[in-house]
Structure 1
Amino acid sequence: MRRKLSIGVYDVNKDEKLGMVVKGSSPLWIRILMGILRAWFFIYDCLNYIPYQLFNPPVEKLRKSSAVKAQWIGGRDGPIRHVDGLKTEEFPGKDTVDKVWRHVVELYDEAPALGTRQLLTVHEDATNVGRIFEKWEMGEYEWMSYREVEAKIANIAPSLKDLTEGIEAKLVIFAETRAHWLITALSCFRANIPIVTVYATLGENAIAHAINETESSIIVTSSELLEKIGTLGKRCPTLRTLIYFPLVNKNAAQPDLSPFRNQFKNILPFDDLEKRMQYTIKESTARPEDMALIMYTSGTTGPPKGVILLHKNIVAALCGQTNGVGIITNKDTYIGYLPLAHIFELDAELTALCCGCKVGYSSPLTLHDRASKIKAGTHGDCHALKPTLMAAVPTIMDRIFKAVSEEVAASPRIMQELFKLNYERKRARYQEGYCSPFLDRIVFKKIRSLLGGHLKGVLCGGAPLNAETQRFMNICMCCPVVQGYGLTETCGAACVADINDLSTGTVGPPVRCCEIVLREWSEGGYSPFNDPPQGELLITGENLSPGLL
């Protein structure tokens, strides 16, 4: 399935994003200076043409971009499959999430796995209208190794199993993204307790709906969110146990548990789960066909729907995404800040861990130096962590674009024009297959440093990313920004764009664990035999959910 590379000629006058960053016209002397610099760039390109062709030929980059990445099996009306074929297990024989995790621990042992940045001080800033905003001063990241995380799971899993009291229980996680969330999930996978995920931003009615529909008996939340579930125990008769994570701000007052005393049979701080352990689970009872997750998704109509995901779905998805992204190594650092209640973030973190990455936790409010909760003069999480990999959604990319725009707009006019000139130059060369190391080090270094300065890849999903935003981020962040397409029902990505693809607005080939078929829709004139091929998108594979609740 070869797609002709169609990048086209760059026209600065049609560059929507650049026009939003650098507005208006400049004085004559600045325009003359920019003309002189353009002439200098032309001479530089002439002098370096032969060295580039010999030592860093752009044709090689263009070849990788236009290479065959997927193929039809049996004609255009047949399935589309990744060019490397189908694969459903990254580690042969490891067919449940717990088996995958245990294998990963053996591979990476004492390497850092999960990191959390400590909150040192909370400052309260008052606005002119009397509103109070918290500003945080953060410390460095503190890490748990793969072996240390495994030790926690080994203690927590049997404690959770005991709390189910022999019933076929389910456990709801209602918490923000943090290491405790993932440790809880991995412990449940070992204990063969299905997890029900709900967003930390939801109200009590939505949480009660999920609990009652799934008949969950345990809820795990954070201390900060306890006030949002004040009457949940009364509204959900199957709930027996409340477990709460420790406060992020260790200097804050401990939560008041008195409203929950007569609502739950057991109320436990998360750290006490390790102390309750009476035995170890030497081998999980989970099978590939067992339920691992019920993930609530908003869908398109009606109330949130619970999507059932089995162990084999997650294992296949991890295999597909590990191969699909293709650049992750055990030297990388992934920054986790999107909601773990969404399949996109959960898959991303598990995929990173499968490759031996370390995962450092953050939030959209502390992500970079200009984030809303970061105290002026101190650094956001990206500066402290220096991630090489991150996942993003279009709204986050828009926030980053806004931060870049503010950075450029605050500079003198001549610096704005220099940014515009160098952006135009790098974009044109990028589309021709050339790299621009000089511009990366001199011009875009400060912008790239907004996200730590070490990114080598960004995967965007959750919604379509504007093609111009994608190109702008490619240029300014000096790393590929690629898109994927998937659903909760496909356990994350069904397609991921190739990291070498220079084009924008494409979600790439199917990942290796699934196939895609374009089914003809004659009423709308859609056919896989059209040019380009069109049709109703059908997905099949081991990553596919068995259905909804």
Structure 2
Amino acid sequence: MDLSTVLLFPVHALVWLYSFISFLPWHFLTGAREKKAQAKRLKSKSTTGKEDGPYRSVDRFDSLVTVDFPGKDTLDKLFDHAVQRFGKADCLGTREVLSEENETQPSGKVFKKLILGEYKWLSYDELDVEISSFGSGLAALGQQPKSTIALFCETRAEWMITAQACFRRNFPLVTFYATLGEEAVVYGLNECGVTHLVTSSDLLETKLKSVLPQIPKLRHIIYVDRKTISTAGYPQNMQIHSMHSVQQLGAKPENLRSEIVKPIPSDLAVIMYTSGSTGRPKGVMIIHSNLIGGMAGQCERIPGLGPKDTYIAYLPLAHVLEMTAEISCVTYGCRIGYSSPQTLSDQSTKIKKGSKGDCTMLRPTLMAAVPEIMDRINKNVMSKVQEMNCVQRTLFKLAYDYKLEQIKKGYDAPLCNLVFKKVRALLGGNVRMMLSGGAPLSSATQRFMNICFCCPVGQGYGLTETCGAGTITEVADYSTGRVGAPLICCEIKLKDWVEGGYKKYDKPHPRGEILIGGPNVTMGYYRNDCSNNEDFYIDQNRQRWFCTGDIGEMHPDGCLQIVDRKKDLVKLQAGDYVSLGKVESALKNCPLIDNICAYANSDQNYVISFVVPNQKQLTALAHQKGIEGTWEQICNHPVMEREVLKAIKENATSTKLQRFEIPVMVHLSPDPWTPETGLVTDAFKLKRKELKNHYLNDIERMYGHK
């Protein structure tokens, strides 16, 4: 009998005794009974009594919510209201860069490492002054109300200052992801005909400078950094300004007193260019009332949102999830501390060893994340668990399994939370709620985050076309794999998709393409009438609807589950339909896999796959097999391909994939897929067309043509 087995007897006895003694007082003192009832309650129902809906939240069944605060029906009014309520309180925080160092890795690569100081804060009153002077400065440079202005910048305080200045003066904002390619940015800037652009010095020098001659209408470029840029090499018809100089210009009395044309609810607030998983980027037209309605629905699902909260901002602000989250935080008096994926934790790539990451310094209470980031956290923590000694590993597993059992019943296990204290510390140790969006979150990862970070992890479902609003799971809902009930600002109905085999009268639950309707549904795509007719429509009650292309299943309690996507469906030669997204979701939790793209040709009868392997796990497996070499050589070794394929088949069997859905060949990619590579979007969704082109030779090899 090994040591771990011997240890289990007294530990199990202690846990049983603790559960027996503490259950009743804990049950009554924490309101567990009420929480369980809340979790099981009916959350939405059909307004017609039919399976296809539309489904509405039971909390606002009679009418949809359009505003959160009466009379505050535009974004500038919302911000002014926040300044009146929270004037002296901290609003936006940025860490000071104390020094930068180049660090050479064992592989020979050189990484830039940062040593960062404390967070420096702008209060609401100070932010109000910055916004006023910048807006006045833009007007002094010739920016006109209702004329578009572009924002191409990383997530930082200056992004929000620019956005609020534009909302205040009715300058419709055109946003682009900082990782978007030059060709796509040029296309969007020319399509909107912008004359003014706000960006960072880094993006200006590395991405924009070479393509500026292709943007003939652009006249003014404002960079947000406090540094001086040489104007040599820029087109003569363009003026380069620093944000600080524009604010100084705007602070002049004659400019500060210039007339402000205020927006109305139906005015255009944002044209948000999506990075898009297919084709050219599309500009989604969002008016003020769309954003106001969408945020009203989102905020209702975050209990206690207010001045005691601190939100860590690191996702792209050009993504609707992050933009609405930050505007909502400002509205409710929360602090926003800026970060980046490279500085988020003590172990992040840009943090010098021994220095503190942003989560440790900020200790946020609220956090948003995309599933890709949560999956990485999950695998990193579990990898560390495998490195523990026998006793530590046994205790961790026991605590994990016990808490998992309790959470599935709708309870908690406070004693076990002590075991996860170090894991919680990775995100500052203070997070009370996490929200996942952008793509489906696997049940296993959601449970892991619930257990180890000791907080509810809600899934949200929405699109840029619906202002990120659609559904969010309630805090009390302890189920996994679902995205919750419709928000109080919108309603959802299902539409038959016969080709895919989904119908609204399916048993046991209705299924079909998800349609979202309400005040949060945007006005369509910029200069794209054809897409408007296909994707958007107005019903007999003058309500706008968006056809999402996602396939949903409505559960009896009124919660939605995403089960498929129309664009991910491929018909194999034998007539079987394969959902590529379903295959990827099932296989992503395989320990050897960091990312996977399933692929199928309609003239073939089997599925193939491209995999980004987990470097630590695959390298260890290679050593076991006696295979040495560089990381690239390990990935290209046929034995490693066979081992990953074996793991895929084992994982596919446990997740009950059909035989024809299981990939029969695999290519291992030594390079990760990041937004910078152009193979995934900023929300880490796969760009299938780009991946296909990138791996064309491997596709031909795996299908036997070469």
**Within 5 Å, which residues of 2 pair with 1:111-150?**
111-150=89-128
Structure 2 residue aligned with 1:16: none
1:165 Cα deviation after fit? 5.2
Structure 1 residue aligned with 2:341: 364
Structure 2 residue aligned with 1:73: 47
- 3-state SS of 1:447 partner: helix
Measure the CA separation in 2 of the matches of 1:133 and 1:287: 48
Kept after mapping to 1: 8 A contact 2:299/2:305? yes
**Within 5 Å, which residues of 2 pair with 1:64-213?**
64-76=38-50, 77-85=52-60, 86-164=64-142, 166=144, 169-213=147-191
Q: How many residues align?
A: 516
Structure 1 residue aligned with 2:609: none
AA in 2 matched with 1:242: I
Cα distance, 1:257–1:519 mapped onto 2, change above 3 Å: same
Of the structure 1 ranges 171-180 and 394-403, higher mean CA displacement relative to structure 2 is found in 394-403
**Within 5 Å, which residues of 2 pair with 1:210-249?**
210-227=188-205, 228-246=207-225
Kept after mapping to 2: 8 A contact 1:484/1:507? yes
Kept after mapping to 1: 8 A contact 2:491/2:518? yes
1:255 Cα deviation after fit? 3.7
Structure 2 residue aligned with 1:506: 482
1:460 Cα deviation after fit? 0.3
Kept after mapping to 1: 8 A contact 2:145/2:171? no
Task: Work out which of the residue numbers 307, 312, 318 in structure 2 matches 1:330.
Answer: 307
Task: Work out which of the residue numbers 320, 335, 339 in structure 1 matches 2:297.
Answer: 320
Cα distance, 1:426–1:107 mapped onto 2, change above 3 Å: same
Measure the CA separation in 2 of the matches of 1:320 and 1:168: 27
Measure the CA separation in 1 of the matches of 2:172 and 2:119: 31
Structure 1 residue aligned with 2:405: 428
1:422 Cα deviation after fit? 0.6
Cα distance, 1:240–1:282 mapped onto 2, change above 3 Å: closer
Kept after mapping to 2: 8 A contact 1:518/1:528? no
* TM-score normalised by L of structure 2: 0.71
For 1:312-337, what per-residue CA distance to the aligned partner results, in whole angstroms no more than 9, with x for missing partners? 11111111111122341221000000
1:311 Cα deviation after fit? 0.9
Cα distance, 1:285–1:446 mapped onto 2, change above 3 Å: same
Measure the CA separation in 1 of the matches of 2:271 and 2:43: 32
Kept after mapping to 1: 8 A contact 2:145/2:170? no
Measure the CA separation in 2 of the matches of 1:324 and 1:280: 40
Structure 1 residue aligned with 2:368: 391
Task: Work out which of the residue numbers 260, 276, 279 in structure 2 matches 1:302.
Answer: 279
- 3-state SS of 1:259 partner: coil
AA in 1 matched with 2:117: G
Kept after mapping to 1: 8 A contact 2:360/2:426? yes
For 1:65-122, what per-residue CA distance to the aligned partner results, in whole angstroms no more than 9, with x for missing partners? 1122222212124321112212111111111111111111111111111000111111
Structure 2 residue aligned with 1:293: 270
**Within 5 Å, which residues of 2 pair with 1:397-408?**
397-408=374-385
Of the structure 1 ranges 124-133 and 349-358, higher mean CA displacement relative to structure 2 is found in 124-133
- 3-state SS of 1:260 partner: coil
Measure the CA separation in 1 of the matches of 2:212 and 2:140: 20
**Within 5 Å, which residues of 2 pair with 1:439-454?**
439-440=416-417, 442-454=418-430
AA in 2 matched with 1:354: T
Kept after mapping to 2: 8 A contact 1:154/1:280? no
Structure 1 residue aligned with 2:36: 62
Task: Work out which of the residue numbers 460, 464, 472 in structure 2 matches 1:496.
Answer: 472
Task: Work out which of the residue numbers 309, 313, 323 in structure 2 matches 1:346.
Answer: 323
Kept after mapping to 2: 8 A contact 1:66/1:501? yes
- 3-state SS of 2:485 partner: coil
Measure the CA separation in 2 of the matches of 1:481 and 1:389: 10
Of the structure 1 ranges 55-64 and 286-295, higher mean CA displacement relative to structure 2 is found in 55-64
Measure the CA separation in 2 of the matches of 1:186 and 1:155: 11
Structure 1 residue aligned with 2:449: 473
Measure the CA separation in 2 of the matches of 1:107 and 1:167: 28
Measure the CA separation in 2 of the matches of 1:412 and 1:187: 55
Kept after mapping to 1: 8 A contact 2:196/2:218? yes
For 1:183-220, what per-residue CA distance to the aligned partner results, in whole angstroms no more than 9, with x for missing partners? 00110111111111111112221110110111111111
Measure the CA separation in 2 of the matches of 1:78 and 1:69: 14
Cα distance, 1:285–1:50 mapped onto 2, change above 3 Å: closer
- 3-state SS of 2:151 partner: strand
Cα distance, 1:289–1:83 mapped onto 2, change above 3 Å: same
Measure the CA separation in 2 of the matches of 1:499 and 1:140: 32
Kept after mapping to 2: 8 A contact 1:352/1:359? yes
- 3-state SS of 1:434 partner: coil
Cα distance, 1:525–1:419 mapped onto 2, change above 3 Å: closer
Of the structure 1 ranges 525-534 and 489-498, higher mean CA displacement relative to structure 2 is found in 525-534
Between 1 and 2, higher relative CO (CA 8 Å, sep ≥ 6) is seen in 1
Measure the CA separation in 1 of the matches of 2:402 and 2:258: 59
Structure 1 residue runs without a partner (length 5+): 1-26
Measure the CA separation in 2 of the matches of 1:325 and 1:145: 23
AA in 2 matched with 1:276: L
Structure 2 residue aligned with 1:5: none
- 3-state SS of 1:105 partner: helix
Kept after mapping to 1: 8 A contact 2:467/2:521? yes
Kept after mapping to 1: 8 A contact 2:94/2:121? yes
- 3-state SS of 2:392 partner: helix
Kept after mapping to 2: 8 A contact 1:233/1:263? no
For 1:132-167, what per-residue CA distance to the aligned partner results, in whole angstroms no more than 9, with x for missing partners? 111111111011111111111111112212323558
For 1:35-66, what per-residue CA distance to the aligned partner results, in whole angstroms no more than 9, with x for missing partners? 33112212222233333344345433211211
Structure 1 residue aligned with 2:244: 271
* TM-score normalised by L of structure 1: 0.90
Measure the CA separation in 2 of the matches of 1:123 and 1:34: 47
Measure the CA separation in 2 of the matches of 1:271 and 1:456: 37
Q: What's the C-alpha RMSD, in Å, of the aligned pairs?
A: 1.8
Kept after mapping to 2: 8 A contact 1:528/1:535? no
- 3-state SS of 1:535 partner: strand
For 1:454-490, what per-residue CA distance to the aligned partner results, in whole angstroms no more than 9, with x for missing partners? 0000000000111110000000000001100000000
Cα distance, 1:513–1:283 mapped onto 2, change above 3 Å: farther
Cα distance, 1:485–1:54 mapped onto 2, change above 3 Å: closer
